Each structure stands twice: as C-alpha cells, then as structure tokens.
Amino acid sequence: MVTLEKIVNLCKRRGIIFPGSEIYGGLANSYDFGPLGAEIKNNVKRLWWKMFVQERPDIVGLDADLIMSSKVWESSGHVQNFNDPMVECKKCHTRFRPIMQFNPRAKASGFKSDEGCPNCAGKNFTEVKQFNTMFRTNLGPVEAPEHTVYLRPETAQAMFVDFSTIVDTSRKKIPFGVAQMGKAFRNEITPGNFIFRKREFELMEIEYFVQEKDWEKYFEMWLEEMKRWIKAVGIDEKLVEYVDVPDGERAHYSKRTTDIEFKYPFGQKELYGLAYRTDYDLKAHGIEYRDPVSGEKFTPHVIEPALGVERTVLAVLLSCYEEVKGGRTKTTDSVKEEEIVLRLPKEIAPIKIAILPLSRKENLINAADDIRKTLSKYWMVDYDETASIGKRYRRQDEIGTPFCVTVDFDSLEDKKVTVRDRDTMEQERIEIEELKTYFAAKLN
Ligand code: GAP
C-alpha cells in the first residue's frame, strides 16, 4: 500500500489538503481542503445524499443548527459521559488517551503503565482521569454557567430532538430515517495521522427509526447499505474489516456496534460505525411515536450508520492511488519515470473533464474556450494550456480527471476533438457538437 507520506505530499503539492493557519506556524491538526479537496469533499457528501436521501423513499434530510440548547446534551448523556480517559506522563507532561495509545482494544482498566510513555519512555503516570471532549462556549457576551453551550460532537441529536416535527410534517411512518451531514467538534486529546483524527470534522449520519422487534433485521440491512456505499465511493473492499465492538467498549448509548475498520498505512482503525442505539435517545428526550394505523404509542428504536467525511476522503485517496513505474503516457515526450494515477470514481473526481488546446495559437484557444463554456454548465471542467500535452495528461491523471479533451489544428477544420480516457488511455475522435451527449452518457 502507498505510504501516508506520499498521500500527504500529493495533497500538498496539488492543493488538495494542506495544513491550516500555515502562515502563523499552523494549528495542531488543522487541515484545510483546497480547491480540489473542496470538490472531492463536496462530491463525497453529494453522493451520500443522493444514495440515501434522494434515492430512498424512506429517508428525509435535515439541516439543523450546530449549537443547540445545552439541555439537549444534558439529556442525551453527553455532558456526563462523552469522556475520554486521559493520563499525563509525570516526566514530560505529555497527555495521552491510554486506550488508544497503549492498548487499542482494552478497557481503561487494561491500561498497562509498564509499556512506558510513547513520547519519552517514562514509566510514571498520573491516575486515569476522565476528560469531556465537548467544546464549550458561551451564547452571548456574558460568561456564566446558564449561558454555556456546546459545539455539537455528533449531528445525531438534532434528528432525535426534531423527530416529532419531522414525523408530523413529512408523514413518514416507521421504519424511516432522517439524514444529516455537517461539522462536528471534539476536543480530542491526541489528534493525528493527517486528517484521520481531527478536532473539527464532518459527519454524515442517519438515524433509522424502527420497532424494537425489528432492530436486528435493520442492523443487517444497514450493514449491506454500508458495503454498497464503500464500493460506490471508491474504497478498496479488500482493505475493510467489520469488527463487533465488545461489551464495555461501546458508546454509552449502544447495545451493539459494528466498527467498519480500514487498513490505513498506520494500522487497522475505525473508518465508520454502525450502532444500535436502542430507544436510549428518544427516551432521554421524552419523545414518543403514535402508530397512525393502530394508534399505539411507543418509543422507536434506532439504527445509526455514522460516517466521517475526512476519513472517507483519506480511505478513498489511499484506495485509488496508483504509481506506474516507467510511465504510462504514450507520447514522444513521455519521461520514463514514475507516474501517479488517482483512479477515483467519476462521481468523486474533482475535475471531470480537462480541456487542453494543443498550442497557444489564438484560434485554438478560442475553440477550446468555447468548449469549456459549454461543458462547464454541466460538469466541473479544467482548462490548461501550459506545458507539453504529455505533461498535461500526467497532471490530470494524478488528480484523477476521468477525461481529457485535446483541441488540435484539425479540430478547426473537421470540428472534432480527441477525447482521452484516464483508465484505458484510449483516444477517440468526437464531434464537438456531440460532446455534451457523449459525456452525459459517460459521466451521469
Ligand atoms: N453519532 C455517532 C457517532 O458520532 P462516532 O463513532 O463517535 O459515532 C462517527 O463517530 C464517525 O465519525 C467515525 O466512524 C469516524 O468516521 C468519524 N470521526 C469520529 N471522530 C473523528 C475525528 N476526531 N476526526 C475525524 N473523524 C472522526
């Protein structure tokens, strides 16, 4: 597998993802998504929304405020329980999350201090303390306990709190789901591994409401749906493992959790989570559901597929990265060295079509720009007139552009262009008039 360093370098070099606040020396584990990264991230979210909200009749969307009443987090148990265990090395004062750092699958009580501090190998630690990882702030100018609010650590709670309004207005019947995506914040003790663990990240979550007797059936259904998603988004299924989280290690609300883990270059770790949240949350908020046919009142149970956007982007980049030794572009100026191809699914590729005039002669540039104007109404296109055609193909290959359109001198006469396919490298001559139809068949 490709190293993390190669992915970090590619991301930096091509402005996909780079350290945030860099001109001020950066900020711990802050990463910004540049022009191409923003496209990739949006494409991931768009695909998720399409597959699960647009195409499923049983799921509706929500876009709730990120700051909610602090009563929400008191009732949900987050104020009490959203803690990470923390120890401090008495020698170098570095703080660690013992479960993750020392023994990933052990309980807090299983922490072995004899393994030494990962920073300075010191053997003396403070007692394990519980640290609440919710970010706290004040609503309004006055700092007082009654004005304390939290930045949401998950998007889920709004989908519970708004449950009754959504049922009444959408007239959905159980089983049905609510989907929401957006920023979440966690004051992680040890962020790291590029965009794997951040303090600010995006979630894509579904709360799927069912009757208690059906929870196992729908848990299985969501496991299959997550497999379908993993394939569609371009994650290598061979690098994915499904791991049942044992008792004592699950979140405070869960009765069953399957971690969907990915084999990252830094080890096999969580990619997504699928949790059976029981009726914990709706009960905590005192919310009930009335069956429209029988009139029976009950508290629905919840199956929750929770996906992180940044971890998706990381797993997709790792899965789609390929280096071709000796080069792959069969042009006369092809430099025989390593070439990178990012085999992103067309839905995820940041640029769908690159338009490349063979020379900078005015009439070629004008013809190419006319094509750009037409195609950019439908797809994200790039226009590049610098360097040799071989170099430009390579630039597009390493950001995963599925198609390049070359406008040459013959194009001015025969009104045709050459379309090159990223994966097969086949070249076809296509009528300029036909390009929109041609790409609609290939890209939509
Ligand atoms: N509502 C359930 C929930 O939030 P979680 O397992 O704590 O569950 C869901 O988080 C997903 O969010 C994870 O599987 C992972 O993809 C992503 N995630 C969690 N913490 C993260 C962090 N600090 N940085 C980036 N992604 C994170």
CB 234 within 8 A of CB 228: no
Looking at residue 50, the DSSP 8-state letter turns out to be I
CA of 271 to the centre of ligand 1 (A): 8
Q: In whole angstroms, what is the distance from residue 183 CA to residue 146 CA?
A: 24
* Test site for ligand 1: of 33, 270, 271, 303, most ligand atoms within 8 A of the Cβ: 270
Look-up: residue for tokens 């749906």? Answer: 225
Structure tokens at 343: 């085999």
CB 205 within 8 A of CB 182: no
- Categorize the per-residue pLDDT at 103 as very low, low, confident or very high, splitting at 50, 70 and 90: very low
Q: Is the pLDDT of residue 129 over 90?
A: no
| Predicted confidence (pLDDT) per residue in 304-359, tens digit | 999 999 999 999 999 999 999 877 755 555 556 789 999 999 999 999 999 999 99
Residue nearest to atom 4 of ligand 1 (CA): 154
Residue nearest to atom 22 of ligand 1 (CA): 197
Residue nearest to atom 13 of ligand 1 (CA): 272
Within 6 Å (CB) of ligand 1, which residues are found?
Answer: 154, 156, 186, 188, 197-198, 201, 203, 205, 270-273, 304, 306-308, 310-311
| Predicted confidence (pLDDT) per residue in 422-438, tens digit | 999 999 999 999 999 99
Q: In whole angstroms, what is the distance from residue 225 CA to residue 55 CA?
A: 13
* Test site for ligand 1: of 197, 277, 309, 311, most ligand atoms within 8 A of the Cβ: 311
Q: Which atom of ligand 1 is nearest to the CA of 272?
A: 14
| Predicted confidence (pLDDT) per residue in 167-196, tens digit | 999 999 999 999 999 999 999 988 889 999
Return the percentage of the chain with pLDDT > 90, whole number: 81
- Categorize the per-residue pLDDT at 106 as very low, low, confident or very high, splitting at 50, 70 and 90: very low
Contacts by 434-441, CB closer than 8 A, 24 or more apart: 435/371, 435/374, 435/375, 435/405, 436/374, 436/375, 436/378, 439/352, 439/353, 439/375, 439/378, 439/379, 439/403, 440/378
Which pLDDT value is given to residue 329? 58
CA of 238 to the centre of ligand 1 (A): 22
Three-state SS annotation for 266-314: CEEEEEEEEEEEECHHHHHCCCCEECCCCCCEECCEEEEEEEEHHHHHH
Average pLDDT across the chain, whole number: 93
Task: Please tell me whether the peptide bond between 305 and the residue prior to it is cis, using omega within 30 degrees of 0.
Answer: no
Q: In whole angstroms, what is the distance from residue 112 CA to residue 124 CA?
A: 11
**E strand or H helix that includes residue 163:** helix 163-170
Q: In whole angstroms, what is the distance from residue 43 CA to residue 194 CA?
A: 20
CA of 87 to the centre of ligand 1 (A): 22
The rounded radius of gyration (Å) of the Cα atoms in the chain is: 25
Q: Is the pLDDT of residue 244 over 70?
A: yes
Closest listed residue to residue 383, CA positions, set 400, 363, 362, 365: 365
CA of 4 to the centre of ligand 1 (A): 20
CA of 116 to the centre of ligand 1 (A): 28
Return the percentage of the chain with pLDDT > 70, whole number: 95
Residue nearest to atom 14 of ligand 1 (CA): 272
Residue nearest to atom 9 of ligand 1 (CA): 306
CA of 150 to the centre of ligand 1 (A): 17
Give, rounded to a whole angstrom, the gap between the first and last alpha carbons of the chain: 31
CB 271 within 8 A of CB 250: no
* Test site for ligand 1: of 133, 201, 254, most ligand atoms within 8 A of the Cβ: 201
CA of 227 to the centre of ligand 1 (A): 18
CA of 272 to the centre of ligand 1 (A): 7
- Predicted TM-score (pTM) of this structure: 0.93
Mean pLDDT of 130-145: 92
- Categorize the per-residue pLDDT at 109 as very low, low, confident or very high, splitting at 50, 70 and 90: very low
Q: Kindly report the backbone phi and psi dihedral angles of residue 147, in degrees, each rounded to the nearest multiple of 5, phi listed first.
A: -100, 5
Residue nearest to atom 18 of ligand 1 (CA): 308
